[in-house]
Chains A and B, each alone.
Chain A
């Protein structure tokens, strides 16, 4: 299980680029400053994507990323974003 605490969870499993970042942006807009959003993605490219996105966007910072092995052996990529 993840160590990091989140105020809101976005299930982006099965979504392809650019949907995880588009949905994350929508969720973050609705969050209060300081709140943490956890994004669960199955897209491996989302790891670099959230890094690149965090570097350029002005609403959130990337607190950390984790990889979780699901019961079926596939990977889940977790991204923790804090609303600025």
Chain B
């Protein structure tokens, strides 16, 4: 009689334990998916910079930020568009360009060395002065900064649409620049810690 009662009690407890286990399992899997969802929304350790400007001072600022971001462990990408494309140029190619594109090529600097500052350009005198002052005060030159940023792992993406528009061909650019568009930037920027337009 007592044994029978105990057996009934035991099976009731087992049933309860089974229920509990099912509930815990369900909770666990719900927690896993919810945590994964939240993780996906958290900022990623990335920085995305649009370099639109072709002004020496702004370009320098962009590279200081990009290199700094890379050194604190952010996966950093610089998107070069419009006047910023000049920074990626290693030479000027006129062959294969139409009249307008050739004019554009001649009126924009051949490489980053020809960039003017945003203020006090004075037909190149401003840039020469700024560069000389940087040298005197041991500020890293723009060209060294560009190489340094690559060494730190900064990725370069050239905007293909603005290249097409301005008639810039890929063989005029550094070979380590990828081609991309707005979604390439957004893919990096949407969850990034830092997104800048310079």
Contacts and interface: CB of A to CB of B under 8 A. Distances in A.
Nearest to B181: A17
Report the interface size class on chain A: 10 to 19
Contacts of B178: 48
Contact of A51 (B160, B164, B187): B187
Given A16-B164, A17-B159, A48 B180 contact: yes
Contacts of B186: 52-53, 56
Interface in B160-181: 160-161, 164, 178-181
A48 B179 contact: yes
Interface of B: 157, 159-161, 164, 178-188, 190-191
B164 A49 contact: no
Given A17-B159, A45-B159, A52 B183 contact: yes
A18 to B, nearest CB: 5
A51 B190 contact: no
A53 B183 contact: yes
Contacts of A49: 180-184
Contacts of A21: 181-183
A18 B184 CA distance: 10
